Every structure is written in C-alpha cells, then in structure tokens.
Amino acid sequence: MLPSPSFKPTLRSLKQIIVYLAQPQDFDDIFDSRYTIPDLKTYEKAEAAFALSNMNIPMWYYYAKEHKGICIEYDLTDFNAKNLSSPEVILLPVIYPDDKTANTYRCSTYEENHENVMLVRNALVKNKNWNFEKEWRLISVERPNIYQHLKIQAIYFGLKTEEVDKRLILQFNKDYNLGIDIYQMTFNNVKFEAKNII
C-alpha cells in the first residue's frame, strides 16, 4: 500500500518520530522572520511552527493541503527548554505586534550583547494579520536543517484525507504499538469537531 504522493514526507516523519526544522527562506511566507535587527550577524537558524488548536479551520486550509493532510498533536510536557545562548532548540510563542512596532524594532541592552537572543526574538515576530494562528515556534539558532524528536500524542485526519493515507497511519500505529489517539475531523454544517477513531 503506497501513500498519496504529497503524503510521503509526512509518513516518513511519522515513522522516524521527528519534526523537521526548516530555514526561514524556505517558508511559504516571504516576510516570515525577516524583521531587520541592526548589526546582527548572519546566523543559520531553523524553525518549526505549531498551532495551539486543531480546531482552526484556516490553518487546516493553509497548512494541511486544504484539509487533505493531517494534524499532529505533540506531548510537550517533558520538553526541556534550553538557555537561549545555547545551540539547542527552544520552544516559545510567536508575538504579533502592529506594523509600526515591528518596523521600528529596537533591542534591549541585554539583547544587543546576546545575539542568539536577538535572533530568537526576530524569529518570533510575525505580522499582526497572522495572529489568528496562535503559533508557537521550535527554534535552533546554530544548527540549520535539523530534526527534533517529539512524542506524538494524537493524530487528526482532515476532512479530505485520502483513505490510503488513513489506512497507512492506522496500520503504523498498530504495528509499532504506539498508542497514539487518532481522530477524524468532521463538519456537519454547524460544528467542526474531532471524532475519536482509536
């Protein structure tokens, strides 16, 4: 049984239980992580984005191939946020200032003396038009294109996820005895909700 072509990278990440941290220049949004910080050296940084809720319909449209993909819920209770000056990954919420604030970006004295902190702060600023995303970022400031292992708690099938992809995930969960909760997103013209499958 083969996955649909666009689903292959997702299935590979699931099997390896990893999250890929990409560089901002590879993001769909060309303005993401592009706020200017004076005299900041060029660093390689990588990021992965997460949403607080699986019930955000625009997020399903934008990031799950118009509801054909899946949403993965991670268990971050044991995630150890590292010191900002370390090369390890950190997890922080995105901030959505108004345009004027973002364009007149200023750093504190502490930040000016800790370039990693400035770099992280830059990665956390998005235009206020995106505040509906309620996004968090997993960031590495010194190791681009890295993979981070995170524990999967649940998987949600989109409204249009292909049956072959659903079967592959269900079989994968069973074969490796992962105990991942699996849900199907539904919409009945009134309510968008997740119904438990396993």
Q: What is the pLDDT of residues 18-31, one digit of tens each?
A: 787 776 666 666 56
Q: Which tokens in the block code for residue 186? A: 């539904």
Predicted pLDDT of residue 109: 46
pLDDT at 61 over 80: yes
User: What range does the domain containing 119 cover?
Assistant: 5-196
Give the relative orientation of helices 163-175 and 8-16 as an angle to the nearest 10 degrees: 10
Structure-block tokens of residue 48: 């992965």
Q: Where are the alpha helices (DSSP H) in the chain?
A: 8-16, 57-63, 99-103, 109-112, 115-123, 163-175
Q: What is the mean pLDDT of the chain?
A: 77
Decide if pLDDT at 38 tops 90: no
- Residue-by-residue DSSP string for 104-148: T----HHHHT-HHHHHHHHHTB--GGGGGG-EEEEEESS--S-EE
Average of per-residue pLDDT across 89-93: 82
Would you call 178 exposed, middle or buried from its count of C-beta atoms within 10 A (0-12, 13-18, 19+)? middle
Q: How far apart are the first and last CA of the chain?
A: 21
Query: What is the number of structural domains in the chain?
Result: 1
pTM value is 0.79
- Do residues 66 and 142 touch, judged by C-beta distance below 8 A? no
pLDDT band at 114 (very low <50, low <70, confident <90, very high): low
CA-nearest of 164, 177, 185, 167 to 72 is 185
Write out pLDDT tens, residues 135-153.
998 887 666 556 777 889 9
Question: Model confidence at 17, in pLDDT bands (50, 70, 90)?
Answer: confident
